[in-house]
Each structure stands twice: as structure tokens, then as C-alpha cells.
Amino acid sequence: MSLPPLVEPAAELTVDEVRRYSRHLIIPDVGMDGQKRLKNAKVLCVGAGGLGSPALMYLAAAGVGTLGIVEFDTVDESNLQRQIIHGQSDVGRSKAESARDSVKEINPYVDVILHEDRLDNSNVMEIFSGYDLIVDGTDNFATRYLVNDAAVLLGKPYVWGSIYRFDGQASVFWAEHGPCYRCLYPEAPPPGMVPSCAEGGVLGVLCASIGSIQVTEAIKLLAGVGEPLVGRLMIYDALEMQYRSVKVRKDPNCALCGDDPTVTELIDYEAFCGVVSEEAQAAAAGSTITSKQLKEWLDDEENIFLVDVREPNEYEIVNIPGATLIPKGEFLMGTALERMPQDKKIVLHCKTGVRSAEVLAVLKSAGFSDAVHLGGGVIGWVNQIEPEKPVY
């Protein structure tokens, strides 16, 4: 369905702006009126990472007058494979500042506002209230539900995107005209069920594919052209090079935007999404060791069975000497339990300690009461014990 323009047009374009946006101005559906609307628009991008990079760059190039950037992280070398708004010289810098500098280099006429804080219940409503449109480039479920709920409560549309390995999704959620994110995903998946990009990886260029869709949808909403992805989910399979569209209907029973909503204010999103399950937290309590303690056990040749629950590709990048690779999925299916020795103390580890805590809960419930896991995972081990090794 077509929708009216989201913003009013600016009073005028300068001579320099006319030259800069000439390829837009000669498109009948955009023209002078549409470009003036872009100039007058205020768009907030949540995140300056994989999706935020192409989104910010193309929003700036398109002439969106005000761009807000919510980002609290710093640039890491592992970001550069996909977060193209940053460069080698930006490693260690604030992502928000790095993104701002790139935006200003692309288009000096854009006003950039930085919000260098973690988005949470205490600031989201105030930050969102100053913008016409939200572009969601987050990579975790707790923040996605926070973005959705704040946008619905404020009556603002937002453009959503998601990426993983070779697959991507995008949609526009606007409760006044269609479904919200909760209509599509009423509940967050169980902790550990859906791997993050940090655990499973992502093809770098996939960010550009989905990010460009997000910008296209943002421009359509701001200028009031075409039919936005309201009520539709665009699914992209890069390996098969296929796009398909799935209808998403507004759920009358939606807890947030339904006929009788039960969520009428912001909630505890970490608890709602269960970043680590209660079972895993209970299992890890009193059964978590440090990297130094594990090093002592290995040096003293303690009778332990060290298990790496990551995926084979992760194991190839870096591993702890003596570890046996048994991916988490084999524990969840139960096939790994028969490989667990009865005469050794089992020590589990993963990248950061989240997956190993989930596996620890499985082992505890199976009777391996003295099993433990490594807090901080391989990352903590490398930082404290073998700093010459690579991290990812």
C-alpha cells in the first residue's frame, strides 16, 4: 500500500544542493519536492556496525538533512570485514565518531547528531522523540524488542533488518498502518537457540544488500513514493541469489499493538529475551572457573576432560591446547553425552562463556554434577594466558 510522505518539504535547495542531487531531481517520482522532504527529514540509525554502515552512508548520500547515530562501541579490526563506514585508521576509535566523520566526508550538508550511549529504557524514548524515522541496525533480540516497543509507543515507523551468514531479512514496522515486530515474533527465541553473527559469522557484503534495502525503504517513506514493506517481510538468500516476499499481518492479539494490549510501557528486555537462560545461570553458579585456574590444572596435569563447544570453523581460528571439539548442538541433541568420561572432571568452554553455560546446564541435568565451565571463554584465555594468539 502507498502511504503519504512522512515529512514536509524544506523551503528550498541551494544551488550546490541542486547540483549534488541532480540525479534524484530528474526522477519524476522524487523530483524537487521529494528531495526537499529528504532535506527536512530527521532519521536515527541505531548502530553503526554491519547494517548501520551502508545505511548511514547512503542516507547521507541521498541528502537526508539530519542523521542521528546511536552507538557506544569502539572500532575493532574484526569489524572491518563488513562495517565499511570505518577504516584501518579508525581501529580503537569511537564508532559513532568514526561514522560521523565518514558521513561528513560523503555529504557536508548533513547534520550529524551523536548519541554515544547504550540504548536502554532510560534514554530510548527521549532519543527517538527527536526523529521522524528509525533505522534499526541492531544485532541482538533485547535491543530489537526495545526499538520496536519504543517506536510503537511513540507512533513512529522504523525500518528493520537482520543478517546471518548468507541470509538476510528486511521489513518496515509501523503499527498505525500495519504490523509491528511483535506481530512477526511475539516471543524471543530461547537463549542460545539462534546464534549471533559473532558465533556463526556473516558474509560481509550481505550487510550492503540488506542495508541498501533499508535505505530504499526509508527514502520511500520520507518522500511518499512507491509501496513500502509495511506488512511484508523481504527474505534474501545470497547463496541462491533469491528474494522472496512474505505477507505479515497485524496480529489482533499482539501484546503491544493488538486490540487489547498488555504491554503499555517499556519492560525489562534482558529478562524478556533471557540472554542467558535461568537453567544456565543456575548451573554456572559455583561452577565457573577462571583462565588462570584452568592454566594451573593443565600445568599440573589434573585429571580433566577439556571440551570446546564451539563450531569447527571457530576452533580452527584459535583453540586452547588439549581441548576436544564437541559442538554445542551435539549436547542439545544428546549425542555427546555418551562421549563424556565418568572418571574425569569435565571442563567446558566456548568463545565467551554463554554457550558453555548452556551446555553445562545440560550436563548437570544428566548427572555430571562436578562439571564446570570457563568464564570468559577462549577470548578470556587468550587475553590472559596466550596474548600472541588471534581472537575473533
Catalytic residue ranges:
197, 350
User: Secondary structure of the chain: what % helix, strand, coil (to 5)?
Assistant: 40, 15, 45
Which uninterrupted H or E stretch holds 358? helix 354-365
Helices 52-62 and 95-106: angle between axes, nearest 10 degrees: 30
Helices 291-299 and 377-384: angle between axes, nearest 10 degrees: 70
Helix (H, G, I), strand (E, B) or coil at 158: strand
What span, in angstroms and rounded, lies between the C-alpha atoms of 141 and 189? 9
What span, in angstroms and rounded, lies between the C-alpha atoms of 165 and 177? 31
Give the neighbor-by-neighbor strand order of the sheet with 288-289: 288-289, 372-374, 345-349, 304-308, 324-325
Helix (H, G, I), strand (E, B) or coil at 142: helix
Cβ neighbours for 315, distance < 8 A, ≥ 6 positions apart: 308, 323, 325
DSSP letter (8 states) at residue 188: P
What span, in angstroms and rounded, lies between the C-alpha atoms of 358 and 365? 11
304-308 and 288-289: which strand pairing? unpaired
CA within 13 Å, CB half, 324: 11
